[in-house]
Amino acid sequence: MLSVVGRSVLGMAQELVGGAARGEDEGSSRVQFWPAEPGSVRVLLASQRSGLEAALSAMVAVWEALPEAARLAQMLPTPALMTRILALDLDEADDATLVEVAAAARRVQAAAQETLTRAAAILAERSAMNQPALALVTGGEACTAGDELSIRLTAPRYECLSLVRQGIMLTTILAKTGTALRLGRIDVAKAKAMVDALYEVPWQAAMAVEDLVLPRAAGRTPQQLRRDISKALISVDPDGA
């Protein structure tokens, strides 16, 4: 008597090669084969593979036929995009390509900024960066992540503290904004505008405002986005605004 697993595997094999008829007789399982035509399975698999290869070849052909500017416009901010940009001879590129190179480089910059702020936020959570005794001695903050980053990045401390604040917001309350930044859908200035405007707002209101303004943030300037946020805050939390 075949086990349940055995019957299942055997049934799959039979369906692959042609079919099977099963009958139950006194607790036993009888299986009868009628094999497919010789070589039909191999022909089917070869046909499917050939069809897939043809489809992939067609997709590659369509991609290669696109102008360079169109290719750049469709690429996400990945290492492949940066590699493609660096491989271009910008002096020989046409105007449309140069515009898309600038836009692509900005998407890469946005993705890098998201990584920078996320790293700063994670660093700020490490126990080594948070020594309560230090705050008692200095009378300042217990977290030293801003100081560590300031030394390594040779940047002002307030700027590094801002990176930490942005990272915390973009990985928690404004996580959708963080994702948009990582994918290059919004730039650094717009992400900072979101954080600066909503950092001290109750999290429920901040998330509601994000849902209202983020969908069209890509087509807005940072100044326009700040106005959008102010209007959304009034509609979401008129008392707090």
- Chain segment 88-137, per-residue pLDDT in tens: 999 999 999 999 999 999 999 999 999 999 999 999 999 999 987 666 66
Kindly report the backbone phi and psi dihedral angles of residue 94, in degrees, each rounded to the nearest multiple of 5, phi listed first: -80, 175
Q: Is residue 52 part of a domain?
A: no
Residues 114 and 159 both lie in one domain: yes
Looking at the predicted structure, is the pLDDT value of residue 36 above 90? no
Nearest to 83, CA basis, from 66, 104, 65:
104
Residues 76 and 150 both lie in one domain: yes
The label of the residue with tokens 């217990």 reads 142
The structural domain count of the chain equals 2
CA atoms lying within 13 Å on the CB side of residue 120: 26
Residues 24 and 125 both lie in one domain: no
Residues 32 and 80 both lie in one domain: no
Nearest to 163, CA basis, from 112, 115, 114, 120:
120
Cα R_g (the chain), whole angstroms: 29
The structure tokens listed for 1 are: 């008597």
The structure tokens listed for 216 are: 């069209």
Give per-residue pLDDT as tens, 42-73: 666 667 778 888 888 888 888 888 999 999 99
Residues 32 and 77 both lie in one domain: no
State the pLDDT at residue 220: 97
Domain residues for the domain of 10 are 4-36
Q: Is residue 44 part of a domain?
A: no
Q: Is residue 54 part of a domain?
A: no
Report helix, strand or coil for 126. coil
Residues 100 and 197 both lie in one domain: yes
Cα(184)–Cα(71) distance, rounded to whole angstroms? 16
Looking at the predicted structure, is the pLDDT value of residue 27 above 90? no
Cα(85)–Cα(140) distance, rounded to whole angstroms? 45
Residues 102 and 188 both lie in one domain: yes
Cα(123)–Cα(164) distance, rounded to whole angstroms? 8
Name 25's bridge partners: 28
Residues 101 and 149 both lie in one domain: yes
Distances (CA, A) of 69 to 23, 63, 86: 64, 12, 14
Residues 165 and 208 both lie in one domain: yes
Residue type, 42: R
For residues 125 and 168, the answer to whether their CB atoms sit within 8 Å is: no
State the pLDDT at residue 52: 85
State the pLDDT at residue 19: 42
Local confidence band at 238 (pLDDT 50, 70, 90 cut-offs):
confident
Residues 84 and 189 both lie in one domain: yes
Q: What value, to the nearest 5°, has the Cα angle with vertex 108 and ends 105 and 113?
A: 125
Cα(73)–Cα(126) distance, rounded to whole angstroms? 39
Q: Is residue 46 part of a domain?
A: no
Give per-residue pLDDT as tens, 139-166: 667 789 999 999 999 999 999 999 999 9
CA atoms lying within 13 Å on the CB side of residue 201: 27
The structure tokens listed for 121 are: 């936020």
Q: Is residue 223 part of a domain?
A: yes
Cα(229)–Cα(206) distance, rounded to whole angstroms? 9
Give per-residue pLDDT as tens, 158-196: 999 999 999 999 999 999 999 999 999 999 999 999 999
